[in-house]
Amino acid sequence: MLNCLRKALIGRNPPNPQRLDLCLTQKKLFISYESKPISTCPVGSLTAHYLVSALGFTPESALSVSRSVPSADPGKAAEVIGVFDQSGFSRAQITRIVMRFPRVLTLKPGRTIRPKIEFLRARGASEADVVNIICGCPWFLRRSLEGHITPAFDMINRCLKSDSQTILSMRRCDNVSFWTVSAFVRNLNALQAAGVHDNSIRFLLRNYPNCLWAYSRKFDRNLERVKSMGCDPLKVKFVLMLHVLMGLAQSTWEKKVSIFRRWGWSAEETLQAFMKAPNCMMISEVKLTAVMEFFVNEMGLEATYFASYPLIISYSLKNRIIPRCKAVEALVSKKLIKPVPIISYITLPDISFVEKFISPYSEEHPFVQKIYFEKLGKHSIA
């Protein structure tokens, strides 16, 4: 296990500092593992015992991992973890990787893990970028560098024309290990054939890359749904709608439509709301119901009003909607201001709202400020 350390120390050639650091890390990890007698560990394999000793796994989770990779051994695990240690991963991050992808313990660090880390760094990825990409999708490590990762990276780079933007796209893609260049090219061509603007395609690739790497059958089905809704492909809303539909099961979509129907929205109003603010369909059913109940039952507003302004229902109920509505309601009740449409103040930036509706009344009518910040859970303006 420690031959590499011995060779680095007494070999004829000068030691490689990077290799020596890794060997010392492995020795430290292995000593940590050996320091606890096997008899004290309630799990039944050396690998499981190592995970408990070196990474703080619970006996149950360690045993689960070791059963997933019966061919792993503590020595190989120490080498793998040593590479992660040296590359800036915390123990918590390493634990997460091992839990999600136990087979990582059987990979060859020098041939499989380190080259991919070095590839990302050579393309401009920071330490945080590397950690984020691998923690987000540890299966990335099992893919071929030459046959999969490099062609995929180059394909994104040709579209975004920037290494940094390509790295950002990779950070935001949680199925990077399933990338296939053929699917990407086919989906890209489908968007261009539909008349989608290049800027919108770059926006999609930069912010919601999973869409373009999806299986073509699913991509085509949802692309046709967006087209059938009548959205202009030259607008960025087109790809936002596609992103939302790609992330929603049909049953989930139908549940959201059903909730809006219960509040009096017609099918046409629901569709128009989706086209205006696609993310309104990503709101959880619990939040959607809570927001509508507040507006209708507490504020006395018409539910169909929000079909015209669907962005409003996406805001935080606790941190924006309730504090602002209650403050404005207090101002109106004391005849300090005339009634104003909710859209005129709910969409304002925080500073603008305070400057317009709170600060002018803070001295003569401090109750307004008190209501606002109590609902917000704060004592005063920060």
Distance CA 217, CA 233 (A): 20
Asked if residue 76 has pLDDT above 60, the reply is: yes
Lowest mean pLDDT among 74-78, 122-126, 320-324, 342-346: 74-78
Q: Where are the alpha helices (DSSP H) in 294-321?
A: 305-308
Phi, then psi, of 173 in degrees rounded to 5: -105, 115
Check residues 28 and 77 and name the one with the higher pLDDT. Answer: 77
- Contact by Cβ (8 Å): 210, 173: yes
Lowest mean pLDDT among 168-177, 280-289, 363-372: 168-177
Asked if residue 11 has pLDDT above 60, the reply is: no
- Contact by Cβ (8 Å): 63, 43: yes
Lowest mean pLDDT among 18-32, 46-60, 331-345: 18-32
Angle (CA) 202 205 207, round 5°:
105
- Contact by Cβ (8 Å): 95, 53: no
CA atoms within 13 A on the CB side of 82: 30
How confident is the model at residue 73, as a pLDDT?
76
Under 8 Å CB-to-CB from 82, ≥6 apart: which residues? 22, 23, 25, 26, 29, 109
Computed over every residue of the chain, the mean pLDDT equals 86
Asked if residue 381 has pLDDT above 60, the reply is: no
Distance CA 115, CA 113 (A): 6
End-to-end CA distance of the chain: 57
Asked if residue 356 has pLDDT above 80, the reply is: yes
Q: pLDDT by residue (tens digit) across 94-137?
A: 999 999 999 999 999 999 999 999 999 999 999 999 999 999 88
Query: Looking up tokens 């990503």, which residue turns up?
Result: 282
Q: Where are the alpha helices (DSSP H) in 264-321?
A: 267-276, 285-293, 305-308
Asked if residue 44 has pLDDT above 70, the reply is: no
- What band does 23 get if pLDDT is binned at 50, 70 and 90? very low
Lowest mean pLDDT among 55-69, 82-96, 98-112: 55-69
Tell me the average pLDDT across 168-177: 81
Distance CA 132, CA 19 (A): 24
Phi, then psi, of 296 in degrees rounded to 5: -85, -50
Tell me the average pLDDT across 10-24: 45
Q: Return contacts of 350-356, CB within 8 angstroms, 24+ apart.
A: 353/324, 354/381
Q: Among candidates 167, 79, 181, which has minimal Cα distance to 129?
A: 167
Share of residues in the chain with pLDDT > 70 (%) = 86
Q: pLDDT by residue (tens digit) across 214-225?
A: 888 999 999 999
Distance CA 348, CA 318 (A): 16
What ranges do the domains of the chain cover? 3-139, 250-376
Distance CA 372, CA 354 (A): 9
Check residues 33 and 271 and name the one with the higher pLDDT. Answer: 271
How confident is the model at residue 177, as a pLDDT?
56
Question: Quick count: other Cβ atoms within 10 Å of Cβ 23?
Answer: 23
- Contact by Cβ (8 Å): 275, 225: no
Check residues 210 and 30 and name the one with the higher pLDDT. Answer: 210
